Copies of this chain bind each other. A is one copy, B any other.
Amino acid sequence: MHAQQMISTHPHVQGRTNDVLIRCIEACYDCSQACTSCADACLAEDMVRQMAQCIRTCLDCADVCVTTGQISTRRTGSNERLIASMLQTCEEACRLCADECERHADAMEHCRICGEACRRCEHACQEARQTFARTVQ
């Protein structure tokens, strides 16, 4: 992704990027795609009735992650409190979705991979939120 390049050329950033937040943004877009894909793959499984909860958490996580990526991208003016709150919600969405996907990881490869993407995004949100209080950009 071009997130690092794009944000570093913002007039108010000028190279002083919060790299932890940028890795989080990339993890959000990646996790959103993975969750959209996992919900779709679960829906095609023979045992779809057992996958309803997983589809639910994946659809929710996909929605939350892409919005977190969008909100966290902006640097004009300020909205730090909202980013911090959104990162917390996204961490929760990813944690709940990873917990659910990991239950099916042995039986379904898409759940194993999606669980990894969620866990990585969960940690990225957590780390971004921690540095967020100290770093402006």
Residues of chain A at the chain B interface (Cβ within 8 Å): 1-3, 5-7, 9-12, 25-26, 29-30, 32-34, 36-41, 43-46, 48-49, 52-53, 55-57, 59-60, 62-64, 66-67, 69-71, 73-79, 81-82, 85-86, 88-89, 92-93, 96, 108-110, 113-114, 116-117
Contacts and interface: CB of A to CB of B under 8 A. Distances in A.
A93 B82 contact: yes
25 contacts: A2-B34, A2-B116, A3-B37, A6-B37, A6-B38, A6-B114, A10-B37, A11-B45, A12-B44, A26-B33, A33-B73, A36-B73, A48-B48, A49-B49, A56-B77, A57-B77, A60-B79, A63-B67, A64-B82, A79-B96, A81-B92, A81-B96, A85-B88, A85-B93, A86-B89
B70 A63 contact: yes
- Interface of A, secondary structure class, is helix
